Amino acid sequence: MPPTIVHTSTGLRCSDQGKHGNKIQLDDRTRLFLYQLVGTWGQLLFPKPWKEFRLWYDNHKAKGIKPFLDGMVTTGWYKKMGEKIWTPWFIKFIHTRGYFNIYTNFLHERALSVSHRDAGVNYGKTAGPDSHILDESSLDFGFWDMQPLSDLRWYDFCFREIFPGRVVGSLDELGSVLNSVQKHDTVIIVSLFGVPEMVIRNLLCHFESLNLWHYVFIGPESDFLFDLARRGHPVIGTDQFLRSVGAYKLMSFQDSNVEMIKEVLVKAYVLKKCLESRYNIWVVDGNMLPVNSDLFIESDPSYDFYIGKSSELFFAGRSSSTRNLGGNDFISKFAMMVNSLLVKRQSLSFGYIMAKFLEQKGVRVKNLDETSLGRRIGNSNVNQSFGDRKQMVFWSSDIASDLLQKRLQELGIWIVNDDFSCKAVVCHKS
């Protein structure tokens, strides 16, 4: 699952072409780093991704698709210069695939190649060399010292540091990941079960737009799940995690509802870990979409738990009472509740199970009416925009994918291309 690296840059040129992105800031000890934004000067392109790019380019050209990527200055370059430059094409390809590029940081404007910036297409007048060639006489560091990729720092288009390969497989790893992603002591858990890839890609674009990064995905092991991890999104693979924590000893997994059982058990383990760590936790399914970040802000401190009436929206706040609820016997009692519901052939949704569990404990729960927070999408056409106070849209899990896409397009919140990549790069100041 290593992130794909497209090229090594030999030049100094490493700019931020994303609007409102963070300034490139590296310490003097960093010699190599990985950055998603690709330059087309001084490249050493690797054969396999270059061939992949050429096939992708030919396919898009044949369909008349333009390399537009909102939020990048290269889109303006292409609109002005057209096919005279190919940088916008390569940047669009990198963005779609989630690839990275190796850059050097040799300090004092030193590099392995030089652009002389003579007068021509790119410069109205000669600007002179952009760097100094690194030679043996100027080496003042261990040039041949190489770190493994896992030890290097990785940055996205906005020069926001990311951490590829976070696949949670144990309780210790879960605690570490929760600590790294939490924001204001709050974590969002998103279930991928039964959700089409294109819907999750659209959700990710909204998370980026809303500057929401304090989330963890849970789902069955799949190429899609591991691709999310490769791109820097933290994930929990249910089978590996449940084996690690010994969950298969708690109950039978031979039932026809086996995937749902795995899903609710992993959610229970994550809930317990969050309560132990004193974090607020939101648990949501992929059949909802936030349209502003206010949805994930606690609003009623008189309740420790919120449960959605018609969706899998669940919230547990950090408090002494909720922390005590997640005691040593929480998982075993939760598993007993699941088994009893299986026998009765009742609902196995996480929200329903937690409602029953909390009812037995005599805990007060606030029932959330999702229609007061957002809009439910169904078969009918959407012919009006959101109200000012609407924070999300949600839908039934059995709605057809093409119909869902159409409804989200009608609301102007389908923000992925045909290849399910985001239509824009949205940067936020750190």
Domain ranges of the chain: 5-155, 165-367
Is the predicted pLDDT of residue 115 greater than 80, yes or no? no
Q: What is the mean pLDDT of residues 204-226?
A: 97
Q: Give the whole-angstrom CA distance, residue 39 versus residue 113.
A: 13
Residue bearing the bigger pLDDT, 319 or 112: 319
Residues 6 or more apart in contact with residue 179 via CB below 8 angstroms: 277
pLDDT band per the 50, 70, 90 thresholds, residue 164 = very high
Residue bearing the bigger pLDDT, 389 or 10: 389
Residue bearing the bigger pLDDT, 115 or 56: 56
Q: What is the mean pLDDT of residues 167-172?
A: 96
Q: Give the whole-angstrom CA distance, residue 236 versus residue 219.
A: 6
Fold classification of 165-367 is Spore Coat Polysaccharide Biosynthesis Protein SpsA; Chain A (3.90.550)
Q: What pLDDT score does 19 carry?
A: 55
Q: What angle do CA 98, 99, 104 make, to 5 degrees?
A: 140
Percent of the chain with pLDDT over 90: 50
Question: Encoding tokens for residue 417?
Answer: 């291309």
Q: What pLDDT score does 1 carry?
A: 46
Q: What is the mean pLDDT of residues 67-86?
A: 91
- The overall pTM is greater than 0.85: yes
Q: HSE of 300 in the Cβ direction (CA atoms, 13 Å)?
A: 13
Ranking 82-96, 273-287, 311-325 by mean pLDDT, the lowest is 311-325
Taking the CA atoms of the chain, what radius of gyration do you get in angstroms?
25
